[in-house]
């Protein structure tokens, strides 16, 4: 008789990253990116929601960031300290995350986020980024590449634009526009992916007085994930200065849209 091997038990690495349950849902869902190969992909657009800065969840998040910046903590899990209702109220992060210069691991498990602000690039100690199971987070700011110590990430890659499995469409980006012709402090996030654009993603100079150019680029941002990054560039020179995209993805920066021809999906390109 063959002795049966004991069943392997896998620990839940996210057990302490989940906030308290509530009577209602803690997050919303969308059909921007179909996470299976059975349904045809369709043209996408940015989520157009604006953050309600009077919502209790937002106000509590500001307090938690202030506390984390003051005590210099290295692991930051803000959502576990919000109720389910409050977590649903948070669709982006405040610019004050730039103050979290000691944080090495940012945990946003199960968030309702639709965008990450470019200020994440100021988190100079960031080594691990975990927005896993955030079903409406489809893209990331190019500024995350400034996190030179970032080595690990856990992202729901089936939900991101251009992922290698299903190649969902990238939203079509706006035409280049003179900064003086738009209100950079009050943009439509459904068109621009943000409500404000102040500086160039590449050179970090103010975009006032320049021609704003937006492009997509897919890059390895850690040892684990190739992410679709949105670049807000102040010049064609800054677009030309972007690094070579990841192998197996479009090899030049692009403006997305349903007419963009992407490489065949289904096979991870590797490094």
Query: pLDDT tens, position by position, for the chain (271 residues)?
Result: 455 555 554 445 666 777 788 888 999 999 898 766 666 677 899 999 999 999 999 999 999 999 999 999 999 999 999 999 999 999 999 999 999 999 999 999 999 999 999 999 999 999 999 999 999 999 999 999 999 999 999 999 999 999 999 899 999 999 999 999 999 999 999 999 999 999 999 999 999 989 999 999 999 998 789 999 999 999 999 999 999 999 999 999 999 999 999 998 776 777 6
Give the pLDDT score at 250. Answer: 97
Write the burial class of residue 12 (CB in 10 Å: 0-12 exposed, 13-18 middle, 19+ buried). Answer: exposed
**pLDDT at residue 19 in the model:** 78
Query: Tell me, what's the pLDDT at 40?
Result: 67
Q: C-alpha 75: how far from its chain's center?
A: 19
Q: Give which of 218, 105, 197, 190 is closest to 151, Cα–Cα.
A: 105
Question: What integer pLDDT is reported at residue 10 of this predicted model?
Answer: 44
For 53, phi then psi, to 5°, come to: -80, 0
User: What pLDDT does 130 receive?
Assistant: 97
Q: What is the per-residue pLDDT for 34? A: 77
Query: What token pair was written down for 67?
Result: 């506390």
Residue 129 token pair: 């980024």
CA distance 196 to 121: 16
């Amino acid at each position: 008789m063959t002795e049966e091997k004991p069943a392997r038990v896998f620990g839940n690495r996210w057990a302490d990253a989940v906030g308290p349950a509530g009577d209602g849902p803690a997050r919303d869902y969308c059909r921007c990116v179909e996470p299976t190969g059975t349904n045809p992909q369709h043209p996408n657009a940015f989520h157009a929601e604006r953050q309600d800065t009077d919502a209790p969840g937002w106000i509590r998040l500001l307090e938690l960031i202030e506390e984390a910046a003051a005590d210099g903590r290295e692991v930051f899990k803000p959502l576990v300290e919000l109720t389910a209702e409050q977590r649903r109220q948070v669709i982006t992060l405040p610019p004050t995350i730039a103050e979290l210069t000691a944080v090495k691991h940012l945990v946003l498990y199960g968030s309702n986020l639709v965008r990450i602000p470019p200020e994440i690039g100021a988190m100079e100690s960031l080594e691990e980024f975990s927005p896993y199971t955030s079903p409406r987070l489809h893209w990331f700011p190019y500024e995350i590449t400034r996190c030179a110590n970032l080595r690990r990430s856990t992202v729901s890659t089936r939900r991101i634009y251009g992922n290698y499995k299903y190649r969902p469409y990238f939203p079509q980006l706006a035409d280049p526009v003179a900064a003086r012709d738009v209100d950079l402090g009050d943009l439509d996030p459904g068109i621009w992916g943000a409500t404000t654009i102040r500086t160039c993603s590449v050179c970090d100079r103010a975009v006032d007085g320049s021609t704003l150019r937006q492009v997509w680029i897919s890059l390895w941002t850690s040892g684990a994930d190739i992410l679709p990054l949105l670049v807000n560039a102040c010049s064609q020179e800054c677009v030309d200065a972007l690094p070579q995209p990841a192998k197996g993805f479009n090899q030049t920066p692009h403006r997305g849209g349903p007419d963009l021809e992407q490489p065949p999906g289904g096979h991870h390109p590797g490094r």
